[in-house]
């Protein structure tokens, strides 16, 4: 009974200690497929020029947009309709640019989404139909052909004295609106080596990825070449089947290492700090100077039976107030949470916080890179 009671007491003590102990810092891990891209597995951008027809009088003004008129004439001539020298008056046609991304390993005959954007002075593409439009790659070759009815996310309505516009009615999308006609040759299974391109360059992250791959395969097949690239040699058992190897590797969990960085967007006042931002001991003070100007004009009237006239005399009051706050001490080696709490304790807004962070960086007291967007 004595031994059981002692064991129970030890268990209770360990439980109390576990509950009362502060939480250990959690280090988030990510899959390799979320940290890097595999060489050759990428999209390719396509672009094309076409015409949208069937608009309800919201198309381009042919007299103001010459390329729409020329495109319409050329299309009709290819169909055997000669309108050279004729006056064309239609508001149901609009010139558009068609863009899309050719998916990786897209095969001939499969479909892809496209985005259609007005090029002229069209007011809305609602209800329009895109005519056959070839989509070209950067090399000038046609890789897909687009056609179909547009889906518009916005609308526009107007009357004699008012108008309303919601969203962007001059941009539409066609789901599965293009058919792939040409494939991009890339033999992934015949490659002796595969490179992994890190989305965020970092020496430590590249080394950790290589170590995780080598530990999983039991051989030294992965090697970090630079902070952005890890080269992987295809083992003998995966020769001719690189897809199976990449499927196993992309699921491995790796803890990425991030550099201490502060991102500042001065236009919107957004500040983003990394978890490894540290500061040295520094004292910060911030004061606001408020200048208030109030206008209360007064009316001055002449006495009865006087020859004067009523005038308005200005009455301006100017007040100056300076909010002086005490110095706030930020100790060395504080965490990100402590830094934010200390700066928020000064009662300042994001705009003033941007200036304080830049001043601390200029003093050499902050161990992080500040990047202004």
Q: What is the mean pLDDT of residues 346-365?
A: 75
Indicate if the pLDDT at residue 9 is higher than 50. Answer: no
| C-alpha span between 57 and 54 (Å, rounded) | 9
Indicate if the pLDDT at residue 10 is higher than 60. Answer: no
Indicate if the pLDDT at residue 63 is higher than 70. Answer: yes
Percentage of residues in the chain having pLDDT higher than 90: 35
Q: Rounded mean pLDDT of the chain?
A: 80
Indicate if the pLDDT at residue 305 is higher than 60. Answer: yes
Q: Read off the pLDDT band of 184 (50, 70, 90).
A: confident
Indicate if the pLDDT at residue 170 is higher than 60. Answer: yes
Domain map of the chain by residue range? 44-180, 193-254, 261-300+309-372
pLDDT 10s digits, 201-258: 889 999 999 999 999 998 899 999 999 999 999 888 888 888 888 888 999 999 998 7
Helix (H, G, I), strand (E, B) or coil at 17: helix
Dihedral sign for Cα 225, 227, 233, 237, please: positive
| C-alpha span between 102 and 105 (Å, rounded) | 9
pTM of the entire structure? 0.66
Which stretch of 3-17, 19-33, 197-211 has the lowest confidence by average pLDDT? 3-17
Strand-pairing partners, residue 36, are: 198
Between the alpha carbon of residue 295 and those of residues 125, 318, 322, the distances in Å are 51, 9, 21
Q: What is the mean pLDDT of residues 46-54?
A: 96
Question: Can you say how many angstroms the Cα of residue 90 is from the centroid of all Cα atoms in its chain?
Answer: 39
User: Residue 272 — φ and ψ, nearest 5°?
Assistant: -125, 125
| C-alpha span between 125 and 118 (Å, rounded) | 8
Q: What is the mean pLDDT of residues 333-339?
A: 64
Q: What is the mean pLDDT of residues 126-146?
A: 95
Q: Read off the pLDDT band of 330 (50, 70, 90).
A: low
Task: Please report how many Cα atoms fall inside a 13 Å half-sphere around the Cα of residue 261, on the Cβ side.
Answer: 9
pLDDT 10s digits, 72-120: 988 998 888 887 777 788 889 999 999 999 998 889 999 999 999 999 9
Helix (H, G, I), strand (E, B) or coil at 53: strand
Q: Read off the pLDDT band of 174 (50, 70, 90).
A: very high
- Residue 85: per-residue pLDDT: 74
| C-alpha span between 170 and 183 (Å, rounded) | 31
Q: Where are the beta strands (DSSP E) in 222-362?
A: 222-226, 229-233, 253-254, 261-265, 270-273, 278-279, 282-284, 287-295, 298-300, 311-313, 316-324, 328-330
Indicate if the pLDDT at residue 12 is higher than 50. Answer: no
Q: Read off the pLDDT band of 336 (50, 70, 90).
A: low
- Residue 45: per-residue pLDDT: 95
Nearest to 170 by CA among 125, 129, 121, 119: 125
| C-alpha span between 222 and 245 (Å, rounded) | 12
Give the 3-state DSSP-derived string for 256-269, with helices as H, strands as E and coil as C: CCCCCEEEEECCCC
| C-alpha span between 243 and 232 (Å, rounded) | 13
- Residue 3: per-residue pLDDT: 44
């Amino acid at each position: 009974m004595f031994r059981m009671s002692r064991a129970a007491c030890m268990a209770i003590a360990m439980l109390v200690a576990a509950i009362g102990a502060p939480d250990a810092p959690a280090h988030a891990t990510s899959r390799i497929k979320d940290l890097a891209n595999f060489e050759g597995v990428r999209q390719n951008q396509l672009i094309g020029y076409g015409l949208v027809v069937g608009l309800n009088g919201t198309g381009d003004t042919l007299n103001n947009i010459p390329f729409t008129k020329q495109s319409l004439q050329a299309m009709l001539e290819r169909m055997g309709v000669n309108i050279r020298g004729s006056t064309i008056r239609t508001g149901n046609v609009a010139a558009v640019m068609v863009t899309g991304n050719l998916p990786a390993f897209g095969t001939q005959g499969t479909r892809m989404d496209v985005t259609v954007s007005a090029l002229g002075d069209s007011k809305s593409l609602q209800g329009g139909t895109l005519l056959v439009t070839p989509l070209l790659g950067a090399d000038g070759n046609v890789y897909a052909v687009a056609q179909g009815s547009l889906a518009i996310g916005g609308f526009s309505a107007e009357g004699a004295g008012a108008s309303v516009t919601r969203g962007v009615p001059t941009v539409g999308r066609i789901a599965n609106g293009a058919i792939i006609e040409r494939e991009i040759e890339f033999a992934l299974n015949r490659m002796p080596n595969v490179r992994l391109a890190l989305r965020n360059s970092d020496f430590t992250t590249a080394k950790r990825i290589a170590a995780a791959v080598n530990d999983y395969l039991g051989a030294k097949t992965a090697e970090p070449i630079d902070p952005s690239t890890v080269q992987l040699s295809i083992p003998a058992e995966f020769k001719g089947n690189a897809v199976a190897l990449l499927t196993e590797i992309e699921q491995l969990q790796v803890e990425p290492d991030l550099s201490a960085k502060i991102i500042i967007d001065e236009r919107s006042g957004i500040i983003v700090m990394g978890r490894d931002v540290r500061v040295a001991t520094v004292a910060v003070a911030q004061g606001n100077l408020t200048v208030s100007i109030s206008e209360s004009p007064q009316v001055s009237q002449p006495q009865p039976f006087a020859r004067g006239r009523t005038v308005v005399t200005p009455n301006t009051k100017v007040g100056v107030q300076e909010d002086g706050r005490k110095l706030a001490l930020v100790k060395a080696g504080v965490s990100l949470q402590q830094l934010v709490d200390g700066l928020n304790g000064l009662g300042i807004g994001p705009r003033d916080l941007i200036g304080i962070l830049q001043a601390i960086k200029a003093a050499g007291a902050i161990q992080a890179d500040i990047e202004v967007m």
